[in-house]
Amino acid sequence: MSGHGTPLPMTARKSPPLKGVAEVPGDKSVSHRALILGALAVGETRVTGLLEGEDVLDTAKAMRALGADVARQGPGEWSVHGVGTGGFAEPDNVIDCGNSGTGVRLIMGAMATSPITATFTGDASLRKRPMGRVTDPLALFGAEARGRKGGRLPLTLTGAADPVPVTYEVPVPSAQVKSAVLLAGLNAPGQTVVIEREATRDHTERMLRGFGAELSVEEDGPRRVITLTGQPELVAQTLAVPRDPSSAAFPVCAALIVPGSEVLVPGIGLNATRAGLFTTLLEMGADITFENRREEGGEPVADLRVRHSPLTGVEVPPERAASMIDEFPVLSALAAFAEGPTVMRGVKELRVKESDRIDAMARGLEACGITVEEEEDMLTVHGRGPDGVPGGATVASHLDHRIAMSFLCLGLGAQSPVRVDDASPIATSFPAFEALIGGLGGALSRSNS
Ligand code: S3P
């Protein structure tokens, strides 16, 4: 239930030191891609560590609707019998991607060069989000989209019967747009080229190579030119999904917020295109050690040991934004406990996430007694030190899992309890959040007080 049912208010209270091991779920980005590429490969793909959050389960359903055989074999263990590149069948009903922008955008890309028609929808949050950023480049392949005003969902996409390859420079830093174009390029003859001005998460590129596609990447400073040769035969794989750094961010920041804490967060993916939060936390003075560095499932991984530390506000450079785009909400909550201002620039993409995250964080922080400054592309949080965050408010989660979790982390260290009006969206990405934080000693309760 991600905001589709009865709201689930949740309260966080000042907590004793957090202690223990925080095993966070599988990476959401990697999980979506594993199902989609598995569905396009020939043979049986086996996935372990898959995130079983609502977003990914919606993608699994969509892959079934498009003709793949997707089955749960055990906790986090899934098998996908794919249909082969270009083999998607026309779904006989609307595809509902729930809360997931990644799901809907990647799936639209993957079907855009097959001669089928599909209608996509989602929850109230997803229906507000821009889809033109994906349907515009898909039109270059020959796909036709008809949505609501501004290209919003519900939207019907008819894939190109005779797709042509495309060269496309992504106008916004978005791994979803890049990935949609690459997935569409899979079933176009010849070479599809995607140019990004700033590097964004590269899981699609890594995984495409892993499934046997021919893909090259030329780097020129932050600019990347990705060339994919179309119509490969993708070969089924065995994939281990690393744990999600974006989910790890919550117990990591909670341990930094609550005095006396020491938490081990094992097996976290540290792909450089995702690890900007950890760089920022170290700059703020966080005591984090990266133990047992290794490679798992083609991604660099480490165990993170985090101890509560006094923190100082920092300026986050705009060129780092893409590598921590999902972590700004929890960084904003943490910044309230630092000494001095934390300035986050180059963050306007936050306005088109599951909610307008700049606005949602700014309003919630103000309600909790924190001074903020907000511009279209910037958020500054004026920290009040480790014991100086008043709290004592109810904040709105706006159907946004990361807003809900960020304010619950803030409440673990605030002087007065912080209530989130609806914590149910947390199930989209981190179903075990409440149990995990509770297991570390964090005081969360499902209450109206
Ligand atoms: C994602 C890309 C990012 C991120 C989202 C996951 C992905 O979105 O915010 O949570 O898996 O490709 P954008 O591509 O819109 O920046």
Judged on CB neighbours under 10 Å (0-12, 13-18, 19+), 447 is: exposed
- Three-state secondary-structure class, residue 180: helix
Q: How does residue 2 score in pLDDT terms, banded at 50, 70 and 90?
A: very low
End-to-end CA gap in the chain: 22
- The whole-number pLDDT of residue 61 equals 98
Q: Closest residue (by CA) to atom 10 of ligand 1?
A: 326
Q: Is the pLDDT confidence value at 141 over 90?
A: yes
How large is the average pLDDT for residues 325-330?
A: 98
Q: Which atom of ligand 1 is nearest to the CA of 172?
A: 16
95-96/117-121 β-pairing: parallel
pLDDT value at 3 more than 60: no
Domain with CATH 3.65.10.10 in the chain: 10-26+242-446, 28-163+176-185
For residue 29, how far is its CA from the centre of ligand 1 (angstroms)?
Answer: 7
Confidence grade of residue 298 (pLDDT, cut at 50, 70, 90):
confident
Q: What is the pLDDT of residue 56?
A: 98
Q: Are 21 and 439 in contact (CB under 8 A)?
A: no
> What residues are in contact with ligand 1 under a 6 Å CB criterion?
29, 102, 174-176, 179, 201, 325-326, 349, 353
* Structure letter (DSSP) for residue 263: E
Q: Is the pLDDT of residue 448 over 70?
A: no
Q: What are phi and psi of 359, to 5 degrees?
A: -65, -45
Which pLDDT belongs to residue 447?
76
| pLDDT for residue 280 is more than 60 | yes
Average pLDDT, the chain: 97
Give pLDDT, residue 4.
Answer: 57
Known catalytic residues are 326
Classify domain 28-163+176-185 at the CATH class level: alpha beta
The answer, yes or no, to whether residue 317 has pLDDT greater than 70, is yes
Q: Tokens 């960084």 label which residue?
A: 331
Domain 10-26+242-446 fold is UDP-n-acetylglucosamine1-carboxyvinyl-transferase; Chain (3.65.10)
Protein residue with least CA distance to atom 11, ligand 1 = 29
pLDDT band at 1; cut points 50, 70, 90: very low
Is the pLDDT reported for residue 405 higher than 70? yes
Predicted local distance difference test score (pLDDT) of residue 76: 98
127 contact partners, CB below 8 Å, separation of at least 6: 121, 148, 152, 153, 154
Which amino acid type is present at position 161? A
Torsion from C-alpha of 130, 136, 141, 144, nearest 10 degrees? 70
Calculate how far, in angstroms, residue 82's C-alpha sits from the geometric centre of ligand 1. Answer: 24
Local confidence band at 5 (pLDDT 50, 70, 90 cut-offs): confident
Q: Cβ distance 72 to 31 under 8 Å?
A: no
Q: Which two tokens mark 331? A: 């960084």
pTM summary value: 0.97
Instruction: Please give the average per-residue pLDDT across 272-277, as a whole number.
Output: 97
User: Across residues 354-368, what is the average pLDDT?
Assistant: 98
Q: For the residues 186-196, what does the mean pLDDT come to? A: 98
The band of 296, judged by pLDDT with boundaries at 50, 70 and 90, is confident
